[in-house]
Amino acid sequence: MSIVFNNFSFKYWALENPTLKNINLTINKGEKIALIGPSGCGKSTLGQCLNGLIPHAIKGDCSGELYINGKNTRSLDLDHCTSMVGTVLQDTDGQFVGLSVGEDIAFALENQMIPQQKMHEIVQATANMVDLNSILDHSPFDLSGGQKQRVSMAGVMVDDVDILLFDEPLASLDPKTGKAAIEIIDNLHKDSGKTVIIIEHRLEDVLHRPIDRIIMMERGEIIADMTPDELLASPLLQQHGIREPLYLSAIKAAGCTITAEDKPAYFSTINLNKFKPQIEDWFHQVKLPQAEPVQDVLLSVKNLNYSYDGVRNTLDDVSFDVHKGEFVAIMGKNGSGKSTITRLIMGVLEADSGTITLNGNNLANQSIFERSQHIGVVMQNPNHMISHHMIFDEVASGLRNRGMDEAQIKIKVEATLKLCGLGRYHHWPVDALSFGQKKRVTIATMLVLEPELLILDEPTAGQDYYHYTAMMSFIQELNQKLGLTIVIISHDMHLVLEYTQRAIVIADNRLLTDDKVNHIFSQPALLDQANLTVTSLYSLAQAMGIEHIDQFIRCFIAHELKNK
């Protein structure tokens, strides 16, 4: 047996209650396990127990026993634990040790004293597997979030360990690269026979390749240990705020009942013929909403060009408008320049040429502080934004900078924290939060300032479905009732499908298209250019023989909006 938890509990010294409670779990050698659950349920803490960070680097009180390969981890040092368990962390910046991508991948090989020629060959082959060959000499800190994730994966793939632990490996990856990452993990599992544990919110993407079991956690306890078919046929995902695959949502929207015998875990195995009559009836009966009238332009980007090195353009002649009250997505592959657009709007970077205007005013004439009075930006990595020790102080910082009265600040901060699902954490230190919870803190910090334009860079990265749905529903309410203009930069096809009316797609540093979401999502060739993939909603419509797939997608969007 590879891993055995026996009545295992753990409590951080900074917290009153245990984060893990009486865990009893056996993971056999060679199994491939998905570990899911809401943010803060203890998934990452469980992973830190496996790789030895708990109790050796992160202090707290442990009870019960944890055995890895028959050895009680209490008797092992951190070195011994990491020699058995290789980890890809959720926060990639905390994992880099090399000055270049190549050095970082080679780090474990250097420690194993692998000859240089062989080391070079292994690094090249591994980099090729995760599409990093062209940037081996780049600093890992200069890369996009998705590229950083692939560097971390490559660093673990070269190491000879028995157990591979992936903590949210898809959080920053575009859909096509995400699928490739799952394929890489699956091939590693098949070829090496290693035990693989994947901690992830994006369950449908994890199920792109077979999984032996899914472990679901809630409030520090294991509440389900099932095969994928058993879990997806049960009501547990919905009850505990975990997002189910899109094709299952559409089948259920048509009024169909799904059982484990229907083999629902994989699109390739589910018996679709059984559901075809009901799906077709539903498609023809759904009434589509009328299009909203277009309002005045709020943000205008014209002929924008930018290069980090003065040689290769990161953005090449990009132009688009965002109208007042719109909810727009900017999509594209990792490294295509999406986040660079945000930095240019913020004023952190200065465009080589082109203009950005807000309400007709050229932003080039405004300081970063002046821009921040009207534009709120939530960055991809919350650790790059947070500057205070306590959650309340972090969210209150912008209001204090504006000179607001402390009594008013208390009311606004507590109300915003509650809306973002953080009400009970207002007196907590930021360090005690999960990555997803930190993300919500940064969103609360912007929302409390009531900006005209809110830009969210990968808002769902590290977020569970329940919390991001509650948060996005709140943001959508601000958009619909108060007219707050929202721009999200995201790879999350489901998020874009549910919340946005229009998508701006960037590919190879240029504007590829600017169109309605249902039109874009029904064009496989166009999506492929931007390293996006068709959703399982498209695949379902295609399998049903539906001619107007864009209308089918629009019907599903209308159904989702109506039933929120």
Reduced to 3 states (helix: H, G, I; strand: E, B; else coil), residue 163 is strand
Own/partner pairs, 337-340, CB within 8 angstroms, 24+ separation:
337/306, 337/506, 337/509, 338/457, 338/489, 338/506, 339/144, 339/145, 339/380, 339/457, 339/489, 340/306, 340/314, 340/315
Looking at the DSSP bridge assignments, the partners of residue 199 are 35, 167
Distance CA 107, CA 266 (A): 37
Cα–Cα–Cα angle for 429, 35, 106, nearest 5°?
Answer: 80
Nearest 10 degrees: CA dihedral of 172, 176, 177, 178? 60
Distance CA 560, CA 356 (A): 34
Quick one: DSSP state of residue 82?
H
Please report the domains of the chain, with CATH numbers, ordered by start residue: 3-240 (3.40.50.300), 243-285+534-564 (no CATH), 296-374+451-517 (3.40.50.300), 388-450 (no CATH)
Distance CA 304, CA 282 (A): 44
- Cβ atoms of 83 and 162 closer than 8 Å: no
Extract the tokens encoding 155: 């660093």
Residue linked to tokens 């205070």: 388
Secondary structure string (H, E, C) spanning 61-128: EEEEEEEECCEEHHHCCHHHHHHHEEEECCCHHHCCCCCCHHHHHHHHHHHCCCCHHHHHHHHHHHHH
In this predicted model, what pLDDT tens digit does every residue of 24-60 receive, in sequence order?
999 999 999 999 998 788 998 999 999 888 988 888 9
Task: Print pLDDT tens along the chain (564 aa).
Answer: 589 999 999 999 878 889 999 999 999 999 999 999 987 889 989 999 998 889 888 889 999 999 998 899 888 888 888 888 988 876 677 778 888 999 999 988 888 888 989 999 989 988 887 778 889 999 888 887 667 877 887 888 787 788 999 988 887 777 887 888 888 889 888 888 889 999 998 899 999 999 999 999 999 999 999 999 999 999 999 888 888 999 999 999 999 999 999 999 999 999 899 999 999 999 888 776 666 677 889 999 999 999 988 888 899 999 999 999 999 999 987 778 888 999 999 999 999 999 999 999 999 999 998 998 899 998 878 888 899 999 999 999 999 988 899 999 999 999 999 888 888 888 889 988 877 788 889 989 998 998 999 998 887 766 677 777 877 887 887 788 778 899 999 878 888 988 898 999 998 889 999 999 989 999 999 998 888 889 999 999 999 999 889 889 988 888 877 776
SS3 content of the chain, % helix, strand, coil (to 5): 45, 20, 35
Distance CA 442, CA 231 (A): 33
Extract the tokens encoding 194: 């290693």
Amino acid, single-letter form, for residue 128: N
Q: Output the DSSP codes for 460-491.
A: TTT--HHHHHHHHHHHHHIIIII--EEEEE--
Amino acid, single-letter form, for residue 57: A
Looking at the DSSP bridge assignments, the partners of residue 302 are 355
Looking at the DSSP bridge assignments, the partners of residue 485 are 453
pTM: 0.78
Please name which of 129, 183, 190, 178 lies closest in space to residue 158, comparing C-alpha atoms: 129
Helices and strands of the chain, counted as H and E runs = 23, 20
Distance CA 526, CA 331 (A): 12
- Cβ atoms of 127 and 160 closer than 8 Å: no
The helix (run of H) or strand (run of E) holding residue 363 is: none
Distance CA 66, CA 58 (A): 16
Residue linked to tokens 């606004």: 412
By CB atoms closer than 10 A (0-12, 13-18, 19+), residue 535 is buried
Reduced to 3 states (helix: H, G, I; strand: E, B; else coil), residue 70 is coil
Distance CA 461, CA 436 (A): 7
